Structure 1
């Protein structure tokens, strides 16, 4: 399949072609969340099975996507997008709070969103691994985006005198790796702790990075 089939244009059933296309795409992604994120998983899913789960035809699939990998890529970005929206909303609400409250708000929001559905964790941390160089590049790009977010927050806190002034990129990269690993292991039942305990541990780790031993905030 060298390209997508041409989607229909014009208004039908009170909806524009763009609205119908968005609805179809959403149905395919919803079905993919179930099949890729639960059983049978991305590698064991076929175009026919995904189309059937979405209640659509394979022809309609090829109007929206070229391959199943395209669906996985879109779904991975969607899952990360939901988590980012939750984090940014929490940060906006905690804008004028202390460093402890801001950091806690970040990770309570992230953990609550990404663990709200075990299928999201599987898409974010499991199904995307080892699929292709393209998907690995996307996974690392999304990780880099989270690193950028942590660095931006650290710089904001440092400018307020609540965190040590330094280049946080290396530390943020290591920290994001620990976040992904711990949340994955917790969701798989390999960590004997509550989600609150997991979040508290992550908060302690980040606060330790932001306020290293020997550093004291400037006198206010």
Structure 2
């Protein structure tokens, strides 16, 4: 989101105004990832502290953003984009594999991406909660995208005869809540298991949703 001050134009130091702005934007986001996702957290960070961490001025901050909430919103979207990119790559590479192997590859990619950096987990599952109605709407919208992805894969599996034909939206929504909660608790040290154990548990839960008891008998 554009800030409220007008950024300078023209070429300086071999870079265009657009290139300098993109670099400043990235530096503020990098600083936000460090401070919001680590110490002291979003609620205890000030514009001055973020600007100092980015090696930039508060004036430059307001050339890029209006508020710290804008930085958190951008980071939340970025973290989700990284995870989505990892999932879509894994999904493409797993095409043609049996359903269980496909689901395992997809969740291993997601879990590995999200948990690979504890700061991403904190921003996605902790810092964004309860900030404002705007960010709550954004959080739910991004979660809905994950629900849509699961529903699309479930419907495709059902069309191939790999899963039970049904409306998966409620089940997928509940499952995403389980994914987020389990990964957060695992990353916080509250679940004594390896990441592979966590992924295996999530895969078994999803397969149970896709292939409920009696489904194979009913279709034969």
Does the alignment reach a TM-score above 0.5?
yes
Note the C-alpha offset of 1:96: 1.0
Q: Which residue of 2 aligns with 1:72?
A: 72
Note the C-alpha offset of 1:42: 0.1
Note the C-alpha offset of 1:8: 1.4
1:216 aligns to what SS in structure 2?
helix
Answer yes or no: is 1:39 the counterpart of 2:39. Answer: yes
Note the C-alpha offset of 1:41: 0.2
Q: Which residue of 2 aligns with 1:103?
A: 103
Looking at structure 1, the residues matched to 18 and 150 of structure 2 have their Cα atoms a distance apart, in angstroms, of 36
Looking at structure 2, the residues matched to 42 and 118 of structure 1 have their Cα atoms a distance apart, in angstroms, of 15
Looking at structure 1, the residues matched to 109 and 64 of structure 2 have their Cα atoms a distance apart, in angstroms, of 32
CA deviation profile, 1:5-49 (whole Å, cap 9, x unmatched): 001122222222111111111100000000000000000000000
Looking at structure 1, the residues matched to 193 and 61 of structure 2 have their Cα atoms a distance apart, in angstroms, of 41
Looking at structure 2, the residues matched to 172 and 121 of structure 1 have their Cα atoms a distance apart, in angstroms, of 21
Q: Which residue of 2 aligns with 1:180?
A: 180
Pairing 1:201-216 to 2, within 5 Å after superposition: 201-216=201-216
Q: Which residue of 2 aligns with 1:11?
A: 11
CA deviation profile, 1:33-82 (whole Å, cap 9, x unmatched): 00000000000000000000000000110000000000000000000000
Looking at structure 2, the residues matched to 88 and 19 of structure 1 have their Cα atoms a distance apart, in angstroms, of 29
Looking at structure 2, the residues matched to 177 and 26 of structure 1 have their Cα atoms a distance apart, in angstroms, of 30
1:140 aligns to what SS in structure 2?
helix
Q: Which residue of 2 aligns with 1:160?
A: 160
1:172 aligns to what SS in structure 2?
helix
CA deviation profile, 1:168-216 (whole Å, cap 9, x unmatched): 0000000000000000011111111111100000000000001111112
Looking at structure 1, the residues matched to 73 and 8 of structure 2 have their Cα atoms a distance apart, in angstroms, of 24
Q: Which range is displaced more, 8-17 or 56-65?
A: 8-17
Give every structure 1 segment of 4 or more consecutive aligned residues whose post-TM-superposition deviation is greater than 6 Å.
Answer: none
Looking at structure 1, the residues matched to 20 and 155 of structure 2 have their Cα atoms a distance apart, in angstroms, of 43
Looking at structure 1, the residues matched to 199 and 63 of structure 2 have their Cα atoms a distance apart, in angstroms, of 42
Q: Which residue of 1 aligns with 2:91?
A: 91
2:215 aligns to what SS in structure 1?
coil
Answer yes or no: is 1:197 the counterpart of 2:197. Answer: yes
CA deviation profile, 1:129-167 (whole Å, cap 9, x unmatched): 111111111111111111011101111111111111111
Looking at structure 2, the residues matched to 121 and 92 of structure 1 have their Cα atoms a distance apart, in angstroms, of 25
Looking at structure 2, the residues matched to 167 and 105 of structure 1 have their Cα atoms a distance apart, in angstroms, of 24
Q: Which runs of 5+ in 1 are unaligned?
A: none
Q: TM-score, normalised by structure 2?
A: 0.96
Q: Which range is displaced more, 182-191 or 15-24?
A: 15-24
1:138 aligns to what SS in structure 2?
helix
